[in-house]
Amino acid sequence: MFKKILIANRGEIACRVIKTAQRMGIKTVAVHSEADKDARHVELADEAVLIGPAPSRESYLVADRIIEACKKTGAEAVHPGYGFLSENAEFSRRVEEAGIIFIGPKHKSIAAMGDKIASKELAAKARVNTIPGWNKPIESPERAVEIARDIGYPVMIKASAGGGGKGLRVAWNDKDAHEGFASCRNEARNSFGDDRVFIEKFVEEPRHIEIQVLGDGHGNCVYLWERECSIQRRHQKVIEEAPSPFLDDKTRKAMGEQAVALAKAVDYQSAGTVEFVVGKDRSFYFLEMNTRLQVEHPVTECITGLDLVEQMIRVAAGERLAFGQSDIRRKGWAIECRINAEDPFRNFLPSTGRLVKYRPPMPTMEASQPVPAEGGVRVDTGVYEGGEIPMFYDSMIAKLITYGADRNEAIARMREALNGFVIRGISSNIPFQAALLAHPRFVAGDFNTGFIAEQYPKGFSASAVPHEEPGFLLSLAAVSHRRSRERAARLTGQLRHREVRIREDFVIVLRDDQGGRDEIPVTVRPIGSMFHVGIGGRTHEVSFEDNLRDIAVHGHFDGKPFCAQIERIGLGYRISHNGSSLFAKVFSPRQAQLEALMPFKAPPDLSKVLLSPMPGLLVDISVQPGQTVRAGERLAAIEAMKMENILFATQDCVVSEVLAAKGDSLAVDQVIIKFQ
């Protein structure tokens, strides 16, 4: 067994690998860029080596510096994690030639499967079901349009070296195909250094289901069941679960056997994932093979009880698999939510900055530790409170995993965990995740990869998510205000006859974005440890177990336990629960009368300017002063967190002034273009 390994990665996955290595008694070496000098993976590792400036192409993607770090520290092996160089056959080959063990498949397997075009040809030879398409590199956007027409829209445009949703677009017409081809090439070139693109038929109403495989260097290969990854937004996985609520045992077995056949065809030696698209009739087609550890591997670890990182290390060290196919259990149900630094209320634009507050739910499971029979909550992360989320890398903050006896139990645990996950300073997709977990179709298992686009065609807003109990959020706001008044009444030194008086009747005031105003009378009476809340002709019982200063609060509502987030903001309260949210101001009746007289401040008119919707690098300006622009035309492109975001004109206009130049680093809401 190795004495020391180097993790050629950063963030959550680097921390994850370190945990298993420490349990196995293996020393670890972290590599880091200048932006990551204070990162959590650097702190956890036994040693750390600086490998370059912040941009990944000058640090984490530079093979020479990683190999040099191995030699400098005496690391015998390299674990690549996922992303960066994890599926780079040339890197794997160079590591092996340097006398260092690559904790992953051999470079020939990576080359065969990492290239999406070659892998499809190999899959067909191995009698794995494949999907129709054009599997040769395409040289121009015009040729891409011709091929797309021949195959028939819709088509999927994919970078050959792509992965993680990068370098991938769905085209429904010629315009989509032309623009999607250019964007895919740019993203692939920037993220992977390989701009080859191919096209295949897009299966409508598909499910994305993948099979986890594990092979050793002695001819043994098994599959570790499947993961359901159909809940996606723009081809980025959002929620993953194991097993799939859609597959039957016959299909599950057939997919597993085909995945193993493909792995054996390339002498696969490590953990890998064979991805399939599955139709509503349970017909399935090979998509691609990821020759690395997947982001969503924890759900497989939960239902099988296996540590996949440990298995990768043992296989790399030359050991045989200690089990056969018949020994692999499938017990319980696990769900993973990717907690990302993005703003769901601003079309999921990246959000960077300092984590002012980072309070995950209390974990009852740990990576690399035995899975509790009763299930629990696990948090895999590479961040800490006070740390920075830089703009140079992907947007993941943490992975939240819950495990239960069945799917309903896993969902219930995930909903409670999301309600208690506090992140402030930057935006996160937690409200959106909570709304998805509460959606009736998700709970029923009735979804496909188009689910999010179908259910949220105009984007996501918390106000569009009705709460299952109409009086719940309002009651919490009212009781929070009453508790705040009680605390104020206990303060000493108050002027005589000017003391804070506690009343029982209040008015909750709600306003919408257009200034519409709603008043809701409410009464709050303490009875023992409870508060009786009268609202809308009904009385609710509310109790709290936490202090006023806590954002995530626990308590009981009408006898049922809850976890919600309550935050005092100015004169109001932001209440969030199960994806629903409202901002309420709670006044005395007289205060409500006076507040109604206050003028409404309308939001500023932004139709005359183009603002940067996120921090990022301005990679292109497509217009000049004086130019007439039509609605839908391209204005600019911003790169952030390894994704290219194109900004289009929302209306016909004339460019007055261009205030930013290509190559500028932009702040959020910075003005890029002014219009006449």
**Residues assigned a catalytic role:** 288
Query: In the 8-state DSSP scheme, what is residue 396?
Result: E
Angle at CA 267, nearest 5°, toward 265 and 273? Answer: 80
Alpha carbon distances (Å) from 237 to 81, 233, 234, 469: 18, 7, 8, 30
Element (H, E) at 161: strand 155-163
Q: Phi first, then psi: what are they for 216, rounded to 5°? A: -120, -175
Judge residue 259's burial from the number of C-beta atoms within 10 Å of its C-beta, 0-12 exposed, 13-18 middle, 19 or more buried.
Answer: buried
**Closest to 358 measured CA to CA, from 421, 433, 430, 428:** 421
Residue 382 backbone dihedrals phi, psi, to 5 degrees:
-130, 20
* DSSP annotation of 489: H
In angstroms, the CA 106 to CA 108 distance is 5
Torsion angle in degrees (nearest 10) through CA of 449, 87, 295, 6: -170
- Cis bond before residue 132 (omega within 30° of 0): no
Q: Which two tokens stand for residue 536?
A: 């809308």
List all residues 6 or more positions away from 619 whose beta carbon is below 8 Å from its beta carbon: 637, 638, 639, 644, 662, 663
How far apart (Å, rounded) are the C-alpha atoms in residues 91 and 195?
Answer: 18
Task: State whether residue 196 is helix, strand or coil.
Answer: coil
Determine the Cα–Cα distance for residues 492 and 494; give it in Å rounded to an integer: 6
Beta bridge partners of 358: 423
**Cα–Cα distances in angstroms (integers) from residue 497 to residues 298, 486, 493, in the given order:** 61, 17, 12
Which residue has tokens 């989320």? 389
Please give the biggest Cα pair distance in the chain.
Answer: 89
Residue pair 378/365 in contact (Cβ under 8 Å)? The answer is yes
Q: Which amino acid is at 399?
A: K
> Cα–Cα distance between 576 and 419 in angstroms, integer?
8
Asked if the bond preceding 243 is cis, omega within 30° of 0, the reply is yes
Dist CA 121 CA 265 (whole Å): 12
Residue 148 burial class via C-beta count within 10 angstroms: exposed 0-12, middle 13-18, buried 19 and up: buried
Q: From CA 123, how far away is CA 466, in angstroms rounded? A: 46
Joined together, the tokens standing for residue 492 give: 């000493």
* Cβ atoms 187, 245 nearer than 8 A: no
* Burial state string for 520-546 with b = 16 or more CB within 10 A and e = fewer than 16: bebbbeeeeebbbbbbeeeebebebee
Look at phi and psi of residue 52 and say left if phi exceeds 0, alpha if psi is from -120 to 50, else beta: left
β-pair partners for 617: 639, 665
